[in-house]
């Protein structure tokens, strides 16, 4: 497949993923009516479930083209929630016995992500 077509397919799937994320998170937030970010929580958990299900199926049970795999995993689910990729990669490291690397990945992304948000907010407020 021509690279431009592949990118267009990923962009289209990404658009659908973003709209799905917004729709589900908004619906859950509206129904729950709580201060807890339940919409994001539900999106992240369902995204992880979908990512694991897709990878498991794509590894041998369901034959799909590389372009479709990219559209589903990188496009749709990558836009729906990048947390699913983070969780999958962390689980793969643990499965392979790379506990230290998995711990650094898990802890590092959480801690540095939070620190980066705070720094970003402080920079923006200082401008």
Does 120 belong to an annotated binding site?
no
User: Looking at the predicted structure, is the pLDDT value of residue 1 above 80?
Assistant: no
Does 78 belong to an annotated binding site?
yes
DSSP 62-116: S---HHHHHIIIIIIIHHH-THHHHHHHHHHHHHTT-HHHHHHHHHHHHHHHHHH
pLDDT digits (tens, 9 = 90+) for 40-84: 999 999 999 999 999 989 887 888 888 888 899 999 999 999 898
pLDDT digits (tens, 9 = 90+) for 89-102: 999 999 999 999 99
Mean pLDDT of the chain: 91
Instruction: Report how far residue 52's alpha carbon sits from residue 3's, in angstroms, rounded to the nearest whole number.
Output: 27
Region of residue 97 (phi > 0: left; psi between -120 and 50: alpha; otherwise: beta)? left
């Amino acid at each position: 497949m021509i690279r431009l077509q592949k990118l267009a397919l990923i962009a289209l799937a990404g658009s659908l993923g973003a709209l799905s994320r917004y729709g589900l998170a908004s619906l859950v937030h509206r129904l729950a009516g709580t201060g807890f970010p339940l919409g994001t929580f539900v999106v992240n958990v369902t995204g992880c479930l979908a990512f694991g299900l897709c990878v498991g199926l794509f590894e041998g049970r369901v034959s799909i083209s590389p372009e479709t795999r990219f559209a589903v995993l990188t496009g749709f689910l990558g836009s729906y929630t990048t947390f699913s990729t983070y969780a999958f990669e962390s689980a793969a490291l643990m499965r392979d016995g790379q506990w230290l690397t998995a711990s650094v990945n898990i802890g590092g992304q959480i801690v540095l992500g939070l620190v980066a948000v705070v720094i970003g907010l402080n920079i923006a407020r200082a401008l």
